[in-house]
Chains A and B, each alone.
Chain A
Amino acid sequence: MARQTSEVESVDAPKYAALSRDIEECKREPGTTLDMLHAVQRHFGYLEPQAVGMVAEALGLTKAQLYGVATFYTMFFFEPKPPVIARVCVNLSCHLRGAQEILHTLEEAAKEQHDAFEVEEVMCLGLCEQAPALLVNEEAVGQVSAEEALEKVQASVAGSSS
């Protein structure tokens, strides 16, 4: 058991080191708490507890205090996620243009593929003129049919595993 943990730690060591540098950079300026949490998620894919601890220490907060802040915001994840996340907007402008079909198609496909990607229902993404719209990780995708949306997601899944 102990050996396994240290192996995991050594695999993650560069991530912690990179995070450390990000934290140092953020610390030089005011108002960077969320940026530090974004950095954790960028390196680990979610708010990995030990990394959150590093941020808490840098800010002079307890981990509980920092989690109290982080849980307010919907973009932060508290458990590991698949490499691809599709955020599908379900608000009015997208709803009127077929958001439910996209959501349904993606959810079915995710189930079939044993959660190779994750589908999230999200509120307006500010892409309403491109409705129906979604974000595939950081990429904005709009004015698509359900099939085209799925293709985009599949391409992203393929790209992330290669």
Chain B
Amino acid sequence: MEQICLRRIHNENSQDIESYLAHDGYAALRKALTEMTPEAVHEEVRASNMGGRGGAGFPTAMKWNFLVGARGQPKYVLCNFDESEPGTFSNRIIGEEDPHLLVEGCLLAAYATGCSIIFIYIRGEYFLAYERVKRAIEQAYARGLIGKNILGTDFSVEMHLRRGAGAYICGEETAIMNSLEGKRGYPRARPPFPANEGLFGKPTLINNVETLSNLPDIVRNGGEWWSNLGVNEGAGLNIYCLSGHVERPGAYELPMGTTARELIYEHGGGVWQGRELKAWKPGGASSAILPADMIDLVLDFKPVQAAGTILGTAGVIVMDDRTCVVDAAIRDATFFEEESCGFCFPCRDGTRVLRMLLDRVRHGVATPDTMDLIEHASSDMMDASFCGLGQFAPWPVVSTVRNFRREYESHILERVCPAGVCPMDGVEPNEHVDRRTLQEMLVAQKGGALA
């Protein structure tokens, strides 16, 4: 099967420039710089119909248009290597095993959009990937592939690698800029958009690692070739990250448009230990928890959106029939409570309220109106949160209420966890929190006061 981003990862010393050069490495850069105008590169990306792999699926070529039209110098490429969405690890594998692919992709993006400075912002916990990308950049500099007059042309560019320090929100496209500028990683208001006023106030192109890593093949083989690799109307290949209760967890680079059934059963070897599928998620923590009967869903941006959730980072998480969906939902709820940056109150308070409500369900002390409270809190957060974190944070929770209602009723009304997972001990779990605070938050939620 055709592979792009993961094609070289099993080669010996795949992270080394010699190995990369021996397998078409930097051939696309040479082709672009010596045979193609920046517009011609842009045109191939347009023909590829690629949607960004960072989560939103925004058409890459269209984002590039904004940059080309933006005024101000210098212009920056900012490679988003913050990868922190639970269930997602494709960027890490590229960075660890094929860092030159990413370097080449960054250079092509800079060439096509007229940028002269490239920053790669990598999450702090990716120690090995950091070392490998750092070395790749040094090797490329030493070969004259980065720097002044690359390959003897008048294209010059610098590249810098920067580390984050533990904050999921710094993957958001404006928070990452604040972080890189040495500030707390709060998101910025938009407009102005990054393409006009981004990093250090200058026009900035922000793209995900996987998005950029597809560029060398698009340039070498053409956008149309790339586009045709998809199925079910999907464009290109996509790395699906498969984890949870599945026999063979891993990164699978497959045609965009592959169904969840094919991914989990044909590629992933089916549910762990031959058990039954109970629930699954299509795109990391920010996506809904879906029932087993939606397994034929086509995993592409549009079809998943039509089904009411998001493909996001394509981090597919599998849950078998021993799983309790309340217990699963509270893991995601805890993640968002921990990672909410606290800048706006619908998200700061809402993520806490959702986690507390779920905790009560788990302990068998939830009141009968709990499902309504979850619906209220969720819709307020979706409407009023300042950035994507708070807007998507309720989905894993509210989707379980909708898709697995019977299970909530059992926890709440009968005080029984059908899977036998939850403590159900009748102990109020939020005792350490000021009771009044929780009560006030709940009242505020109920009255829609958050919106």
Binding site for B on A (CB under 8 A): 29-35, 37-38, 59, 68-69, 72-76, 87, 90-93, 95-97, 122-131, 135, 138-140
- What's the Cα separation between A87 and B319 when bound, in Å? 24
**Chain A residues near B160 (CB, 8 Å)?**
29-31
Complex interface residues of chain B between 167 and 182 (CB less than 8 A to chain A): 167-168, 179-182
CA of A96 to CA of B89, assembled, Å? 17
- B334 — which chain A residues lie within 8 A by C-beta? 90
Can you list the 7 inter-chain pairs with the closest CB atoms, starting with the nearest?
A: A33-B182, A73-B165, A74-B166, A75-B166, A124-B86, A128-B243, A93-B243
Whether B125 and A92, one on each chain, are in contact in the complex, defined by CB atoms closer than 8 angstroms, is no
Partner of B245, one of A96, A123, A124, A129: A96
Interface digits, B84-104 against A, CB 8 Å rule (1 contact, 0 not)? 111111011000000000000
A124 and B84 form a contact (CB under 8 A) = yes
Q: Which of chain A's residues have a CB closer than 8 A to the CB of B241?
A: 128-129
Instruction: Closest B residue to A138 by CB, please name it.
Output: B127
Give min CB distance, B161 to chain A, whole Å: 9
Given contacts A34-B164, A34-B179, A69-B182, 12 further A-B contacts (CB under 8 A): A31-B119, A31-B182, A31-B199, A33-B182, A34-B124, A73-B185, A74-B166, A92-B86, A92-B281, A93-B317, A131-B244, A131-B249
* A29, B118: Cα distance in complex, Å: 12
A126 with B244: CB separation less than 8 A: no
Which residues of the other chain, B, contact A140 by a CB distance below 8 angstroms? 127-128
> Could you tell me the distance between the alpha carbons of A130 and B241 in the complex, rounded to whole angstroms?
11
Which B residues are in CB contact (< 8 Å) with A130?
Answer: 249
B88 x A128 contact (CB < 8 A): yes
- CB closest chain-A residue, reference B200: A30
A46 to B245, CA, bound (A): 37
Query: How many pairs of A and B residues are in contact by the CB < 8 Å rule?
Result: 140
Structural contact, B162 and A32, CB atoms closer than 8 A: yes
Contact B165–A75 (Cβ < 8 Å): yes
Secondary structure type dominating chain B contacts? mixed
Q: Is B184 close to A, CB under 8 A? A: yes
B84 to chain A, nearest CB (A): 6
- Centre residue among A30, A72, A127, A138 by max chain B CB count within 10 A: A72
CB neighbours (8 Å) of B128 from chain A are 138, 140
Mark B300-318 against chain A: 1 for CB-CB distance below 8 A, else 0.
0000000000000001010
**Residues A128 and B249 in contact in the complex (CB < 8 Å), given A92-B86, A135-B125:** yes
Within 8 A of A (CB), among B337-356: 338-339, 341
Residue B205 interfacial (CB < 8 Å): no
Q: What are the residues of chain A within 8 A of B323 when measuring CB–CB?
A: 96
Cβ-defined contact, A73 with B164, below 8 A? yes
Cα A29 to Cα B83 with chains together (Å)? 24
Q: Interface digits, B112-130 against A, CB 8 Å rule (1 contact, 0 not)?
A: 0000000100011111100
Interface centre among B85, B241, B243, B332 (most CB of A within 10 A): B243
Q: Residue A127 contacts which of B85, B89, B332 (CB distance < 8 angstroms)?
A: B89
In the complex, residue of chain B having the shortest beta-carbon distance to the beta carbon of A124? B86
Closest to B88 in A: A126
Which residues of chain B come closer than 8 Å to A34, judged between CB atoms? 124, 162-165, 179, 182
CB distance from A7 to the nearest CB of B (A): 32
Verify A129–B89 contact, CB threshold 8 A: yes
How many Å lie between the Cα of A69 and that of B180 in the bound state? 11
The chain B residue sitting closest to A128, CB to CB, is: B243
CB-nearest residue of chain A relative to B251?
A129
> Bound complex: CA of A76 vs CA of B328, how far in Å?
29
List residues 136-173 of chain B with CB under 8 A from any CB of chain A.
Answer: 160, 162-168
Residue B404 lies at the interface, judged by CB distance under 8 Å to chain A: no
Contacts of A123 on B, CB cut-off 8 Å? 84, 86, 168, 335, 338-339
Complex Cα distance, B165 from A33, in Å, reads: 11
Determine the residue in chain A with the shortest Cβ distance to B249.
A129
27 A-B pairs in the complex with CB atoms less than 8 angstroms apart: A30-B200, A31-B181, A33-B182, A34-B162, A38-B124, A68-B184, A69-B182, A72-B341, A73-B124, A75-B165, A75-B166, A91-B87, A91-B285, A91-B331, A92-B244, A92-B332, A93-B317, A123-B338, A126-B84, A126-B92, A126-B123, A128-B243, A128-B317, A129-B241, A129-B250, A139-B127, A140-B127
> What string of 1s and 0s marks CB contacts (under 8 Å) between B239-268 and chain A?
001111100011100000000000000000
Q: How far is the CA of A76 from the CA of B184 in the complex (A)?
A: 13
Q: Interface code B58-94, partner A: CB below 8 Å = 1, 0 otherwise?
A: 0000000000000000000000000111111101100
Query: Which B residues are CB-close (under 8 A) to A90?
Result: 331, 334
Q: Give every chain B residue within 8 A of A127 (Cβ-Cβ).
A: 89, 92
A30–B84 CA distance with the chains assembled, in angstroms: 24
Using CB atoms, name the residue of chain B closest to A131.
Answer: B243
A74 touches B89 (CB 8 A): no
Closest B residue, CB atoms, query A76 = B165
User: B87, B91, B165: which has the most chain A beta carbons within 10 Å?
Assistant: B165
Determine if B180 and A31 form an interchain contact, defined as CB atoms under 8 angstroms apart: yes
Q: Is B435 an interface residue (CB 8 A)?
A: no
Contact A74 to B167, CB < 8 A, known contacts A91-B285, A96-B319, A97-B244: yes
Q: With a 10 A CB-CB cut-off, give which of A31, A92, A122 has the most chain B CB atoms.
A: A92
Most buried by A among B244, B315, B335: B244
B436 within 8 A of A: no
B432 at the interface (CB under 8 A from A): no
In whole angstroms, how far apart are the Cα atoms of A93 and B281 in the complex? 11
Inter-chain CA distance A30–B83, complex, in Å, is: 22
Asked if residues A93 and B182 are in contact (CB atoms below 8 Å), the reply is no
Which chain A residues border B163 with CB–CB below 8 Å? 34-35, 38
A129 / chain B contacts, CB cutoff of 8 Å:
89, 241-243, 249-251
